[in-house]
Amino acid sequence: MTTLATRPPTTASPAGRAAARGGRARRTLYWIATHTVAVALSMMFIGPLVFVTLTALMSDDQALTGDLWPDTWNWGNFAEVFARSQLLHWLGNTFMYAGLGTLFTLLSSIPVAYAMARFRFRGRRLAFFAVIMMMMLPPQVVAVPVYLIWARFELTGTLWPLILPMLLGDAFSIFLLRQFLVTIPREYTEAALVDGCSDLRILVRVILPMARPGIAAVALFQFFYCWNDYYGPLLYAQTTEENWTLSLGLASFRALHSVQWNLTMAATLLVMAPVIIVFFFAQKAFVEGVTLTGVKG
Amino acid sequence: MSGVTHAAPPRWRRGEGRKALLWMSPWLVGFAVFFAYPLAATVYFSFHRYDLFTLEFIGLDNYRYFLHDDRAWVSIKNTLWLVVFMVPAQVLFGLAVAQLLTRLKAGSGFFRTVFYLPSLVPLVAGTVSFVFLMNPSGPLNQIIELFGITAPDWFGDKDWAKPGLTLLAMWGIGNTMMIFLAALLDVPKHLYEAAAIDGAGGWRQFRSITLPMISPVLMFSTVTGVIYALQYFTQAMIASRVAAGVTDSPGSSFVPGYPELSTLTLPQWLFHAGFRDFSMGYACVLALLLFAASVIFTLVLIRRFRTFADGQGGNP
């Protein structure tokens, strides 16, 4: 993989041309080698999804045999999953958690990130460190006291303990938005300031339109975080089945429906599908978000 | 972050501090309610016996109990296993895949999408899939047996469950890979050209140019990897539940870590102690341990951020 990739430009001498021919052969070989590895890796990354899909389409009996290819294509398995489980209900709960969670996060985190990126004040470093601290703290560390707070409000058993705190900002979103906002040149806001704009107006009229890709990335990450979250719903909603999310439902699916791998895989696929579809429409925002969080650290 | 020094003078204007406080107030409240207070309360509860109903001061008993809690030590050992084996596997594989992507002339966009995609698959769905794929007669073992090798019973064997989870982690290296890719593409091309003219081979170029240039990112990925390994919960929990074929609900006798506690991690044991056994005081002792470990690695991470914390520092 780390073999020489670039060679200096060749000269026009006969010896140089011969070397160039040799170089071309080597380059072709190199091209073939790297692309072969890439194709093999692709199969390793996609393979699991293919086998899951194939098993999801098998009959009940065949799914237990370890066959790789379905004898008959049982598309009805997907309908069976809907019929046997509360999948639609879980989907609704997951949408509520992820949708409201994302909305609340954006509403509360944008102003905070704006203040951290734009205002000069004593303690801004401290505030930034505190954000990173919060971001890196395992949620389990403060689980007991936080659980007790919600128990006092009698909200355990619902998803509200997960949604409501997002009205008070989310550390990861603040961090990511801040990283994005500091890259916007100060000149834009200074100009608006000279024109007599208020801070709120500057945020709404100048910053937000320019920060649209960053906001899109944060929204996507937050939505996916909630969509995928298992720990939070397990802690708060496990006891009340009508408040389960897709994660909780899928985690119990196999135990509730004996050992039917075909149905379990069909359910798994139904949970994955929305995520994969969204990804294909919003690839760019993802990539932008990922590189912003980690690069140039 | 951009490395550009802004024209604005670094003076601090009067009133901006107050304004900033106002703008940050939602987060400041959140910080107090969901971070500062719970942290103090965790310390307080750790000296008490607390089962949601009665609160009784017992001094250091919870801490003493911890010293003799075999399962806690197993969970710590498992967590350390993840730090020592899973994190490096993930980081190195992510780097190798990113390196490969920089060398592809055709279809690099396609391959990048394919390599990234699994990291988006919901954790529960990905884990359930892998438990199926790696069941004794599952697709993976059939492929392995094509080569005449006896395949293990991954999530049913205490020696193979953690390696199985490591494969799952390697499948989902998308984010790590993307961060490395961005860093690799940032290395100035002319450095490689100069090295090639000087006769440096591929390995030499990697060691003397690539590695030093991306070391901040390498460091970042490793440290965040360790921090997330300390929080490792969902995959281990789901793998043991699905492999054992049982549900877990309050009051059930299900003990996580199947098979034979091999996938029991510290956060799981904490969860079990606090919310299944309702020994909340003892759970707080485990929480403080987790907190201490996380703080150490987060402080290392913060050092990497220090130079651009004021929004205009150059490269660290």
Q: How do the domains of chain B map onto residue ranges?
A: 70-311
What's the confidence (pLDDT) of residue B16?
80
DSSP B154-174: GGGSTTTHHHHHHHHHHHT-H
- Measured between CA atoms, the residue of chain A closest to residue B248 is A252
B271 touching A (Cβ < 8 Å): yes
Residue count (chain B): 316
Residue of B nearest to A186 (CA): B6
B-contacting residues of A 164-203, CB under 8 Å? 165, 167-169, 174, 179, 182-183, 185-187, 190, 199
Q: Are A221 and A173 in contact (CB under 8 A)?
A: yes
**Phi and psi for B244 in degrees, rounded to 5?**
-80, -15
The enclosing H or E element of B57 equals: strand B55-57
The pLDDT, as a whole number, for residue B156 is 87
pLDDT the model gives residue A14: 58
pLDDT value at B311 more than 50: no
The pair phi, psi for residue B56, each rounded to 5°, is -135, 130
In percent, the amount of chain A with pLDDT more than 90 equals: 43
Q: What is the pTM of this model?
A: 0.87
Give A250's contacts in chain B (Cβ within 8 Å).
Answer: 122, 124-125, 128
Q: Collect all residues of chain A within an 8 Å Cβ-Cβ radius of residue B186.
A: 295-296
- Res B302: pLDDT: 77
> Which of B99, B106, B284 is opposite residue A35, by nearest beta carbon?
B106
In this structure, which CATH number among 3.40.50.1220, 1.10.357.10, 3.40.470.10, 1.10.3720.10 belongs to the domain A86-293?
1.10.3720.10
Tokens of B247: 């549900």
Query: Does residue A216 contact residue A292 with C-beta atoms inside 8 Å?
Result: no
B62 vs B18, which has greater pLDDT? B62
Q: Work out the pLDDT band at B118, boundaries 50, 70, 90.
A: very high
- Out of B24, B35, B274, name the one closest to residue A134 (CB): B35
CB contact under 8 A, B1 and A294: no
Mutate to test the interface with B, among A140, A178, A230, A258 (most CBs of B within 10 A): A140
Mean pLDDT of all residues in B230-240: 93
Would an 8 Å CB–CB cutoff place B20 in contact with chain A? yes
A74–chain B nearest CA distance, Å: 19
- Report the gap between the CA of B221 and the closest CA in chain A (Å): 8
Mean pLDDT by 10 residues, chain A (297 residues): 42 56 83 92 93 89 80 86 89 95 95 90 87 90 94 93 94 91 83 82 87 89 92 92 92 74 90 87 78 55
Q: Does B238 touch chain A (CB under 8 A)?
A: yes
State the virtual CA torsion across A208, B112, B229, B40 in degrees, nearest 10.
Answer: 0
Chain B positions in Cβ-Cβ contact with residue A167 (cut-off 8 Å)? 26
* CATH classification number, B70-311, choose in 3.90.470.10, 3.30.450.70, 3.60.10.10, 1.10.3720.10: 1.10.3720.10
pLDDT of residue B313: 38
pLDDT at B211 over 70: yes
Which chain B positions have a beta carbon within 8 Å of A129's beta carbon?
302, 305, 309
- Is the pLDDT at B32 greater than 90? The verdict is yes
Q: Find which of B4, B21, B25, B27 to mutate to test the A interface (most A CBs within 10 Å of its CB).
A: B27
Q: What is the mean pLDDT of chain B?
A: 86
Contacts with B178 from chain A: Cβ below 8 Å: 287, 290-291, 294
A contact residues 11-70, partner B, Cβ 8 Å cutoff: 31, 34-35, 37-38, 41-42, 44-49, 51-52, 55, 65-66, 68
For B284, nearest residue in chain A (alpha carbons)? A144
Q: Position of tokens 């003076």?
A: B11
Phi, psi dihedrals of residue B126, rounded to the nearest 5°: -60, -40
Burial class, B149, CB count within 10 angstroms (exposed 0-12 / middle 13-18 / buried 19+): exposed
* B122 has a pLDDT exceeding 50: yes
B264 vs A: CB within 8 A:
no
Residues 6+ apart with CB under 8 A from B232: B79, B82, B265, B267
Count Cβ–Cβ pairs < 8 Å, chain A vs chain B: 352
Span B143-184, pLDDT tens digits: 888 898 888 889 988 899 999 999 999 999 998 999 999 899
Supply B187's token pair: 């290395």
pLDDT digits (tens, 9 = 90+) for B38-61: 999 999 999 999 988 889 899 899
For B121, the closest of A132, A199, A275 (CB atoms) is A275
pLDDT confidence band for B242 (50 / 70 / 90)? confident
For chain A, the domains span 86-293
Q: How many CB atoms lie within 10 A of CB B223?
A: 21
Specify the residue for token string 């066959």.
Answer: A67
For residues B294-311, one letter each, b for 16 or more C-beta atoms within 10 angstroms of the residue's C-beta and e for the rest, the string is: beebbeebbebbeebbeb
pLDDT score for B10: 45
Q: Does B254 touch chain A (CB under 8 A)?
A: no
A143 and B287 Cβ atoms separated by less than 8 Å: yes
- Kindly provide the ipTM of the predicted complex, given to two decimals: 0.87
Q: Say which of A34, A146, A148 has its CB closest to residue B100.
A: A34
Q: Give the pLDDT score at A257.
A: 65
Q: What are phi and psi of B195, to 5 degrees?
A: -65, -40
Cβ <8 Å between A112 and B196: no
List the one residue out of A238, A226, A224, A229 whose CA is nearest residue A277.
Answer: A224
Residue B80 has pLDDT above 50, yes or no: yes
Take residue A122 and report the two structure tokens written for it.
């004593």
